[in-house]
Chains A and B, each alone.
Chain A
């Protein structure tokens, strides 16, 4: 734990070019060097990076901008011209899969961020203030988590009244925060009576400062690990939303492509299902492995095991 606290000790100590002070390795640089030595983690990171770049390029219109163009006969099988075949309207499945990266990555990112903000805020407040605040927040998340996930998602989509990307963001973001909230609460409770927090209080730090400037950076590893997991849960849940008819409209997503397959398979058209499943599997697998590697690298309890 000493490493984690040094990274938050007065900034002056770290930035001052004083060569006599032996600077210990911070948690983050330690984690980074652990990660860069792990080939699995590095590969996963590169894969996620490629997906993110593809999503960005497709959003800017550099790749797969002509996904809606008819390039051949309906349901043409995979060939050298069209690696993943064509869909019902003769559109390239490969282009649709690439375009679908945009939806998947933005759903993972935005839904992940929404649940992160809610989870961290509620968890930190409950853990830090305790007492009545804690009781109310614990009551709220226990109640909330007793309602089945799928019904909450459907209800949020119903309430929004319109389908589309924003509804998917909200439905997945507003339902995915409970685990993180629990973890952060438990971790903040463990931290709030540590010496470094007392030290911060002694030099005049208020509640806000102690919680957000001192404690939160020390529980940040949980947030990051959870974010990488929540990211892939959101990507997977988008498929279920599409199946329920609550997914994105008017643009390709892996969820709608997989959902389309329920009518296509009877005609032996398997390539749309195959392409979307493969694209999703690779990025979800990479995010899972990255989450594991991050936990090994960032969790101080596992250090040296």
Chain B
């Protein structure tokens, strides 16, 4: 089977998944969650007010039509307006994407580069005290709550020592840098641990392969083996792993954005959760489901392109 047919088949397979995701969203927000008119109008609303609002929000229509609305919005990206701010959700998303990326992209990029370097280094010294020590530090870093990192970092480094901005944001290239410095550092604390462990496992998987033994037996030095052979072969899982992470970068970092006042998508989602702003939560859920599905597809296709051993079925 050639690659085009495979891509088309995978694309078709995303349709039931998108429909299913819309179904879960429908069940969560239209069927079983508490009546949104109560949340919006408060407990003292009259029956008439509630009925009018239900009519205006389209909650009187059949479930089937409400479900179709969600499916339609997944394909047209028309999510309506926020209940809390009355803004167009699509324009909120457009405005939020860039601030999110100014935080998450540098964090993701630095974390990936640092982790790959560290994991090459420790897999070279595999089994030694150094290797065990680095793994132990990684696991320790992973064992601290993300909220604790944020609270401590903001209080100690920004508030007490005054090294960083406590909170806030300015758009435009050099202006945003001081505001994202500390959030990026905290992001690194959170992601380097799991990343190093993951890349180390991949490197170790490669190091025990036969071709490495062959390379070594023909007298290549360890540096050439690590960089030309091991790293090159490890690129396949590395590429797929990094592609899978891209949707999470677009969607932003919920807690970091909220604490540091960065007006990104993560903050928008969290505010919507706090104020029960269903259309925004629904839009963000649809968006992230779509992003995850699409990047999963890209990652699978890349995998088959990069690795000649993978046979398409």
Contacts and interface: CB of A to CB of B under 8 A. Distances in A.
Contacts of A276: 148
Contacts of B254: 150
A266 B159 CA distance: 9
Contact of A244 (B20, B208, B273, B284): B273
Interface string A257-290: 0110110011000100100110011101100110
A169 to B, nearest CB: 18
Contacts of A239: 145-148
Contact of A147 (B33, B151, B285): B285
A159 interface: yes
A151 B285 contact: yes
A281 B143 CA distance: 5
Interface in B1-26: 16-17, 20-21, 23-25
Contact of B144 (A150, A158, A277, A292): A277
Interface of A: 139-140, 142-148, 150-152, 154-155, 158-159, 161, 232, 236, 239-240, 243-245, 254, 258-259, 261-262, 265-266, 270, 273, 276-277, 280-282, 284-285, 288-289, 292, 305
Contact of A243 (B28, B255, B288): B255
Contact of A146 (B34, B273, B292): B292
A257 to B, nearest CB: 10
Interface in B48-68: none
Contacts, number: 111
A159 B28 contact: yes
B142 interface: yes
Contacts of B120: none
B151 A288 contact: no
14 contacts: A142-B20, A143-B20, A143-B23, A147-B25, A150-B269, A151-B284, A158-B276, A239-B147, A244-B270, A244-B273, A266-B155, A277-B144, A280-B144, A284-B143
Given A148-B285, A270-B155, A285 B139 contact: yes
B24 A288 contact: no
A146 B152 contact: no
Contacts of A161: 34
A232 B151 CA distance: 21
Nearest to B29: A155
